[in-house]
Structure 1
Amino acid sequence: MPAPSAAPAGHAGTGDSTVPGPGRVLISYAGPERPWAVWLAHVLEQAGFRASPVHWEVDRRDALGGALEDLRAAGGRVLLVLSDWYVRLADRTDEEWMTACREVTERHPGRMTAVSVTHRPLPVGTALLEPVELWTVSEAEGSPARTGPARRPGRGPRRHRLPARPAPRFPNDPPLVWGAVPRRNVRFTGRDALLLDIQRLLTDAPPGAAVCALLGMSGIGKTQLAIEYAHRFSNDYDVVWWVDADTSGTLRERLAELAVELGLTAGSEPGGRVRAVREALRRGEPHRGWLIVFDGWDDLEEAGELLPQGPGHVLITSRNRGWHDAGATVVEVPAFLRHESVRYLTGRARRLQHDEADAVAIALGDLPLAVAQAAAWLSESGMGVDDYLRMVLEGEPSEPYGPDQVSHLSRSALTSWLILIDRLRDTQPHAAELLALCTCFGPGAIPLGLVRRVPPGELPEALAEAVTEPRHWTRALGTLVDYSVITREHHGPGDEAARPEDDVVYMHRIVHDIVARLTPPDLRRTYQRLVRRVLAAAGPGNPQDARLWPRYAELLPHLEPSGALSAAEPDVRRLVLNCLMFTYVSGIYRAGLELAERVRARWEELFPPDDPQMLDLTVRQGNILRAHGRFHAAYDLDRAMLERLRATPGTGRDVALMSATSCLAADQRFLGQYEEALQLQREVLETALALRGPDDYLTLLARHNLGAGLRLLGRYAQAYEIDVETLHRRESLLRTRHPATLGSSLACARDLRLMGRYRDALARQELGVRLHVQVLGPLHPQTLRARHNLLLCELRATGGPETDAGMSGLLEQMEQVHGRDHYVTLGLVVDLGNHAREQGDLDRARDLIAEGESGFRDMLGPAHPVSTGMLSNVALVLQAAGEHVDALALFEAALAGLTATLGPDHPWVLGCALNAAAGRNVTGRLDSAENLSRDTLRRARRALGADHPFTLSCEIALAADLRALREREQAAKVEEDALQRLTRTLGAQHPQTLAARRRTRPTWDFEPYLG
């Protein structure tokens, strides 16, 4: 056997790779005990020794004494870290251990010693090494004097000390946060070099970019590798959190749960908690050392929104090779090496000889999942290897049913599973029934215990006995575990399920696909009906109750496998609609869109378009499309629904018509059809008042939306009246801290700011933000909108001395929540660009404004009022840069375009006119500038009032034009009137008042707002 490598396992070492000298210690450990080896190396180095951890590798065919002698031959002293893993890797009898230990201690007294990190008995021969038991001690007790070399006679440690480095955590001390990492596989074999490669890739990655994706086909062992990594390297981290990422809903929910463990105040909404978690991880607060494992993350669509960044590490298992383009370092997970397959087979099925295990490994192509199943079969069945190989290579045990989802498996690997399933049907029928039942849930975590809540008389006869008799249930699950078909899960970290009804099992996707393909269609339909009933009974109820969202996230992956999307049962359809509502209110829009599309494809075959259930589906789907920024798709869907309802009148359709009309009005607001939207919204409110009365939830929602429509049309005072009434009614009927009430408070603050009542708006919005943070969390979408409005209120009321920093920080968080190209984020990009221009940072302003203008034009089209208004912001940057002619052309285009779509008196049109007049003035068109300024002032007084700050800006602009025409007396009179009003309205020291006194010509920033 060659001498073992002395390369440290994840330990910095000393930089000296030479053979250990008398003052050095070689620490021999099995891979899973790396935390002990690293910690021991640290304490020995602190005592003056020079320690080198090395993996323990020994071939079963080599003599144990020779392997130990090879360790000793490296020079210096040897410290064995004895554990179950260490002994299992050696795979020797007690007699062999006795002989080997006697030989090494007699030949080299005092040069080899040991520590024990297991509570189980060790081979008797290891007693000759006088192992020190460390598995029960504290870190203080595990002193260098007890660990071996320091207590031996002979040459002492070197006198010099190594430079201090951060101490690894004591292995008996778990990470501060340990998040439902699956149990360690006690049969995990090999992969040591691959694990070290992963650790090195993560450690050496630049800060914020430590993302490693383990790629490979199903059954290759990606998940087991990630589990072992999390356990083996756990003492490198303060936080280790496991996320089942098979579906977007479970991914978000599981990641959101970390907020509680980190002590974050983020409300109860999963989206807000996810954002709070990502922000905490990015900042490295409260913990810099973190590992997040995403298992089974194949859909990359939300990677930009959910993938954490920061000082920690991210490990992903996936079949999607797109992770390379998403910025992850990709690691291809290969099949077992042949010696790893052999070691696994001989370790599980101990009667196998090396050559027999080698033959089985060859037949199965070293695929880890197939090797594990074969080892379990050969261990449990007692079948001879020759017979097993004959069946695998030549047998045709069953004719499969259904589509082939496992074509990537070799014929021999697939046949090995078919043998097992046929055998279970013959010898363990209860286990076979539970196995078939599992495939009618989704793969991954399966709440199998829910079936025990069904009355036995209502269960299929073949299953009833297993469910009603605890010993049959326990034996059946135990058999499936023994054969490596499932693993047992539990609800809480470290807690076993308290009752059989809480049993959760885990089934690998490939096993799920194989068994599903081999289950007869009649049996599968029977069990699907049962699972649908179980899921419907477990439905939590009101999907708008955030406390119930974790339960909805657990049920979501099982809808499609159970056939719930095509079900005829009313309670199952209700569950599907509730799950769809859950995706909307919890903010997992992409998952909601995917679910809605699948449901629609099924339901269109079952129901006519005007069926009430199709209408419910359309409302939910349209809401998600709109929230996701797909306004045209939502409009087409909602308009078609409304047209169908209007074409087929009938009794009992008033509420449906009201809902459909409300949805279409919302679409029109986002698409810039403001007058049409307002007319529809008035119809909705009238209908709601007639059907529901003034204090119904839907009536208040209709009133709130009417205020939004008035605001978009620039009728700020009318919007405020509506919003104040809605706020008071919601405070009375709901509560002050209800999210809907907070939404009304935000609307009122926005109205006040647009009305020019900056101090009132600031006072209301400061309180509103505090309540938003307390109730919904700092990163909830509604909280972010409130914080955005607060920054604008501060800017208008005080000049906002810290506006730039506040906007930059908020923009970073909005990107986490929505992505950079979402309309909410783009709105903040534009406001930050406008502020940069005002501060004189023209390069930054140009980039941000160009990004916002392009983003809105691509999203909304060039004719949308927001796209048109953005031209004025672009022109302001050009004008500040001295490009006056080009700026004026854009000012005039914005003015003409908005006048045509919104009319001459809309505040946005007046703002464009204020800027266009400035452009005419600076290019020498003085008479035209004066005429436009005078007309704009007249219209502003009528639309906004004589004392509105914008109206007073128009007055200051007119005075500037009059001075340019040398009409100084009239200019002075206009200017003095404006200054008096500004002082009375805003105060003598307000930035706008001071700028007017300096005769700085005012301009108007367009704030893109969609509703």
Structure 2
Amino acid sequence: MPIRGGLPPRNPRFVGREGLLTRVRGMLGNGPVVLLPSPDHQLGGTGRTQLAVEYAYRHADGYELVWWIPAEQNAGMRAALAGLAQKLGVPESRDLNRTLGAVRDALSRGEPYRDWLVVFENANRPEDIMPYLPSGAGHVLVTSRNPRWTAEVAQALPVPVFDRADSVDLLRVRSTDLAAADADRLAARLGDVPMALDLAAAVREAVGWPVAEYLERYERRAVELAFPTPIRVAWGLAAEALGAAAPADRILLELCTFLASAPISWRLLWAARTLPLDTELARTVRVERRLRTAMRRISRYGLADLDPAGEHLTVHPLIRGMFGQELSSERHAELLRTVRGMLAAADPGDPDNPAGWYRYAELAPHLIHSDLLGGDAEEIRQLVINCVRYHYARGDYDSSRDLAASAVARWRDALGETAEQTLLAAFHLANALRAVGRTADARNLNLQTLRTQREVFGGDDEATLATANSVGGDLRIQGHFGQARQLDADNLVRYRRLFGESFPTALRCANNLAADLRLLGDFRGARALDDQVLRHRQAIFVPGHPETLSSRTGLAYDLFGLGDYAGAAALLADSHLENVPADHPFALWAGRFAAMAARRRGDPEARPLAEANFAACRQKFGDLSVDTLASAVSLANCARAEGALDDAHELLERAVIRYHAVLGDEHPFTLAASAALAGVVRAAGRYADARTIDEEVLSGLRRSVGADHPFALSCATGLAADLAAAGEAQRGRELAADTLRRSRVVRGVDHPDTVACAWNLALTDGDEAARQQALTGLAKAYGDGHPVFRTTAAGQRLETDIDLPPL
């Protein structure tokens, strides 16, 4: 049996289409095929979806995998492709775009399945699915109403109405006692249009109308219409019959007019029970049993499809459209208010919690069709914001950005720029913009939002504080670590005053302040704060909570920065990662820090650990992520420590170029990576080239983070070696002595890098006593047998590596 995903139930009454099915099979061998309405029925109703479903079931045994993708909206299509990623064994990236690209590439390569069928249903914008179209030995089938498909994208196959024989078969399958002549007469009047035939068969079966009575009713209704197409007339008869038999059911179906073609969960319709409704409708939706009965009845009349479990109704776009055209403006407004209230009532809340994501997956497709952005109630707009956040939490940053941008634009016009929910939507839009790499746009929007929130709501408002935290993140990305610290310190005072120091958002703010301190090289201050936050999080969260892991990894980096490599390694033991996915960002940080600690301890496993972490970061974040680039620097340090200078040079050269592109020329991380590159160049004996790099980098670091920052101290250590090699002994000695003095103050006398500075100066001065004192300090820092002593035994200078903390 093939693996199947999302495939609708097979139609047990499917008839005919043998020639079309054969053509589809033949054409798929030459590339993607798109099923379109025939030119004389461009609105549809000719059975494209049913044809695609039948093809999938009929040929399923010839495929290893069959996957059905609803493509009417981007968010739903991307969610279905994300589900396919799991079946293909594609690791999930933090950015859903990377995951979906990996899905396309895996299918194209035929890994792990060579023979597959992927169906894109209702793909009405070719440009939306083109980025996800795989090639290879598998097959792609598309259904669409849009004729704008070029031959370069897919082969078009129009789906016409039935042949008369197929029409007769369909009608007689539904009514076994129907005479062939009567079926022929009915098919002729309905123009052999599949949807019209299905509606006619369903309503006749539901109410027992003989053919003659049905045709009589058909003629009367056709006369009443300006454009009496078979589908419109047949729909009208079915809707009228349903309304006569169960008025509440028709109203329920009218509500579905404002929802998407995606399956409509009974839970969504059940949410209407809390709203003021028509008496009969209220009675229907109030009790689950009655609601499910109504859904079955709607399906019996052919006006919607019901899945076998009775969980979801799916209403064809043509049916929705015809109901909508029948409504008066007053009735339209009334039903729209009900639908919006129903959607809001179904909001599970807490969009960051994966446990509720399936509920948001059911709600999100309906936001556009119900024009939820135009809702005038606060809870309706809150659902929009929660859906923005849901997309973001899942890693679908594009969908989050698009929905947030639409909300900001609509609400600025409708509510004003200073309205609370306009500003909240802007805050989430900035998050999404940052996530897709538009950091400058995110920064500008956040600053504008924060300024307005402070003016309107004050600095202590919770939403204002959340935006201020986001601005702090922008400042860190810009490299303005001192400004971020000032802002986050002010935020923390406000959070603690308002909520107490153990409140989760206050702890997040404290976590951010610790990150600022770490970036500024204040590892003692960061350690004190991280240790405090970790204790609070352990007390309020379950074991293995990601936020606890965040504190643990931050504290581990603090210990690393303080020179306690064994303590950092112990804090990152695997037992603390057992409840967190291996590719979670915090787990990847822990992996990198563990490799860093192993390298400093002289563990030969350091480089394999760093290589695995670099590969995982590339998969999760992509090549241009600051996390991936920091992992590349740490791996290069391992390679240089082993003497693999070519590998280290290649890694660092590529990282420096990308840091320039991502963060800019003057960012401390760009400069720090350049200093690491200078160290590899120096190790290769190219002292003049290393000096050129170091002089420029040290000047930049002193401007951006100051002469006492660990980055600047490490670079100065390298430049002192460059100067000594160039014969500028006095200048090199002065720089080495100044660096040692600063390191003692900043890092401490016993810090391994301070002791390394002391060793280097002792070599320069030829001071044997100072050398012995430095060796004693190195033994205390590293223990006996550490690889550092091979360097000292050779009478060579020591490097002080730069590793980059998370931004």
Instruction: Say yes or no: TM over 0.5.
Output: yes
In structure 2, relative to structure 1, the CA distance for the partners of 1:756 and 1:942 (3 Å cut) is same
What is the CA–CA distance in structure 1 between the aligned matches of 2:741 and 2:90, rounded to whole Å? 52
**C-alpha distance in structure 2 between counterparts of 1:226 and 1:726, whole Å:** 55
Partner residue, 1:295: 120
Instruction: Work out whether 1:995 is the aligned partner of 2:800.
Output: no
Report if the CA contact (8 A) 2:682-2:690 is conserved.
yes
User: Cα 1:834–1:386, aligned 2, differ >3 Å: closer, same or farther?
Assistant: farther
CA distance in 2, matches of 1:385, 1:778: 63
C-alpha separation between the residues in 1 aligned to 2:800 and 2:318? 61
Secondary structure in 2 matching 1:480: coil
Which residues of 2 match residues 822-861 of structure 1 at below 5 A? 822-839=625-642, 844-861=647-664
2-side partners of 1:946 and 1:614: how far apart?
A: 53
Contact 1:445–1:506 (CA<8 Å) still a contact in 2? yes
Amino acid at match of 1:863: E
Residue 157 of structure 2 corresponds to which residue in structure 1? 334
Distance 1:260 1:771, change over 3 A: farther
Counterpart check, 1:637 vs 2:445: yes
C-alpha contact (below 8 Å) 1:791/1:800 kept by paired residues: no
Structure 1 spans left out of the alignment, 5+ residues = 1-173, 202-211, 364-369, 400-411, 491-495, 498-502
Secondary structure of 2:414's aligned partner: coil
Partner of residue 208, structure 2: none
* Counterpart contact for 1:669–1:1010, Cα < 8 Å: no
- Amino acid across the alignment from 2:395: G
Secondary structure at 1:869's aligned position in 2? helix
Cα distance in 2, alignment partners of residues 287 and 888 from structure 1: 50
Is 2:503 the counterpart of 1:696?
Answer: yes
Q: Secondary structure at the match of 1:505?
A: strand
CA shift in 2, pair 1:353/1:859, >3 Å: farther
2:41 paired residue number: none
- CA, structure 1 residues 660+619, in 2 after alignment: closer, same or farther (shift >3 Å)? same
Q: Please, which runs of 5 or more residues in structure 2 have no aligned partner?
A: 38-43, 173-179, 205-210
Q: Is the 8 A contact 1:753 1:761 kept in 2?
A: yes
Q: Is the 8 A contact 2:24 2:33 kept in 1?
A: no
Aligned AA (1:589): Y
Instruction: Write the deviation string for residues 398-429 of structure 1: whole angstroms up to 9, x where unpaired.
Output: 68xxxxxxxxxxxx9xx554444444455544
- Please point out which of 489, 497, 507 is paired with 2:307: 489
Aligned residue number for residue 153 of structure 1:
none
How far apart, CA to CA, are the structure 1 residues paired with 2:74 and 2:556? 35
**Distance in 1 separating the partners of 2:728 and 2:785:** 33
Mapping of residues 905-944 of structure 1, within 5 Å: 905-944=708-747
Distance 1:923 1:514 in 2: 84
Structure 1 pair 265–563 and aligned structure 2 pair: CA distance change class (3 A)? closer
Question: CA 1:337–1:278 in 2, change beyond 3 Å: closer, same or farther?
Answer: closer
Instruction: Report the alpha carbon displacement of residue 695 of structure 1 after superposing the two structures with TM.
Output: 2.0
> 887-896 or 732-741: which moved more?
732-741
CA deviations on 1:932-956 (whole Å, 9 max, x unpaired) are 2222222122111222222233234
Change (3 A) 1:628 1:823: farther
Residues 254-293 of structure 1 show CA distances to partners (whole Å, capped at 9, x for unaligned) of 56667998999999x9989989x979989x9998678574
Pick aligned residue for 1:896 from 674, 688, 699: 699
Q: Name the structure 2 match of 1:739.
A: 546
SS at match of 2:494: helix
Letter of the structure 2 residue corresponding to residue 789 of structure 1: F
Question: Residue 443 of structure 1 corresponds to which residue in structure 2?
Answer: 261
Task: Return closer, same or farther for 1:864/1:262 CA change in 2, 3 Å cut-off.
Answer: closer
1:571 pairs with one of 375, 379, 394: 379
Residue 554 of structure 1 corresponds to 362
Shift in alpha-carbon separation, 1:213–1:909, aligned structure 2, 3 A? farther
Aligned residue for 1:479?
A: 301
Alignment of 1:98-247 (within 5 A): 174-175=1-2, 178-186=4-12, 187=14, 189-190=17-18, 191-193=20-22, 196-197=25-26, 214-215=33-34, 224=50, 227-228=53-54, 230-235=56-61, 240=66, 242-244=68-70, 246-247=72-73
Find 2:413's aligned residue among 602, 605, 616.
605
1:712 is displaced (CA, Å) by 0.7
1:341–1:371 CA contact under 8 A, matched in 2: no
- Deviation track 1:754-807 (CA, whole Å, cap 9, x = no partner) reads 22211111111124xx433x3231222332222232222323333443624x44
CA distance in 2, matches of 1:907, 1:795: 18
Distance in 2 of aligned mates of 1:812 and 1:279: 20
Distance 1:630 1:457 in 2: 41
- 1:978 to 1:228, Cα distance in 2 relative to 1, 3 A: farther
Matched, 1:524 2:332: yes
Deviations 1:110-132 (A, max 9, x none): xxxxxxxxxxxxxxxxxxxxxxx
Q: Distance in 1 between matches of 2:329 and 2:503?
A: 49
Q: What's the % identity of the aligned pairs?
A: 27
Q: Aligned pair in 2 of structure 1 residues 433, 378: CA closer, same or farther (>3 Å)?
A: same
Q: CA deviation at 1:197?
A: 4.9
Residue 585 of structure 2, aligned match among 774, 778, 781 = 781
User: Secondary structure at 1:742's aligned position in 2?
Assistant: helix
Shift of 1:680: 1.1
- Would you say the 8 A contact 2:407–2:422 is kept in 1? no
CA 1:195–1:771 in 2, change beyond 3 Å: closer, same or farther? farther
Q: For each residue in 1:501-557, what CA deviation from the matched residue of structure 2 results, as whole angstroms up to 9, or x when unmatched?
A: xx4122355665676566554333222212222222222133333211211221111
Alpha carbons of 1:386 and 1:516: their partners in 2 closer, same or farther (altered >3 Å)? closer
Classify 1:875/1:455 alpha carbon distance in 2 versus 1 (closer, same or farther; 3 Å): closer
Aligned mates of 1:554, 1:655 — CA distance in 2: 30
Larger radius of gyration: 1
- Check conservation: 1:223, 1:317, Cα contact below 8 A: no
Q: Aligned residue for 1:801? A: 605
- Spell out the pairing of 1:389-428 with structure 2 (5 A cutoff): 397=225, 415-428=229-242
Tell me how large the CA RMSD over aligned residues is: 4.8
Q: Which moved more, 1:471-480 or 1:571-580?
A: 471-480
**Secondary structure of the equivalent of 1:682?**
helix
For residues 591 and 783 of structure 1, do their structure 2 counterparts lie closer, same or farther at Cα, with a shift above 3 Å needed? Answer: farther
Structure 1 or 2: more helix by fraction: 2
For 1:487, the aligned partner's letter is D
Count of aligned positions = 771
The worse-fitting range, judged by mean Cα deviation, of 748-757 and 347-356 is 347-356
Match of 1:459 in 2: 277
TM-score (normalizing by structure 1):
0.66
Which residue matches 2:555?
748
Give 1:716 deviation, angstroms: 0.8
CA distance in 2, matches of 1:510, 1:846: 62
User: 2:666 — aligned with what?
Assistant: 863
Listed as ranges, the matches of 1:653-668 within 5 Å are: 653-668=460-475
The SS at the match of 1:334 is strand
Aligned to 1:545: 353
Map Cα deviations across residues 805-826 of structure 1 (whole Å, 9 max, x no partner): x444444443443333233233
Report the 3-state secondary structure (helix = DSSP H, G, I; strand = E; otherwise coil) of the residue aligned with 1:604.
helix
- Mapped to 2, the partners of 1:417 and 1:999 lie a distance apart of 91
User: Kindly tell me: are residues 975 and 511 of structure 1, through their superposed partners in 2, closer, same or farther at Cα, counting changes over 3 Å?
Assistant: farther
**Amino acid paired to 1:440:** F
Contact kept in structure 2, 1:988 and 1:994, CA below 8 Å: no
Return the alpha-carbon distance in structure 2 between the equivalents of residues 693 and 753 of structure 1: 30
1:213–1:330 CA contact under 8 A, matched in 2: yes
Mapped to 1, the partners of 2:11 and 2:48 lie a distance apart of 13
- Partner residue, 2:176: none
In structure 2, what residue type is equivalent to 1:862? Answer: D
Paired amino acid for 1:438 = C
Report the CA distance between 1:660 and its aligned residue.
Answer: 3.3
Moved more, 225-234 or 924-933: 225-234
8 Å Cα contact 1:184/1:227 also seen in 2? yes
SS of 1:605 mapped into structure 2: helix
Label 1:517 to 1:813 Cα distance change in 2 as closer, same or farther (>3 A): farther
Distance 2:72 2:496 in 1: 45
Q: Which amino acid aligns with 2:655?
A: G
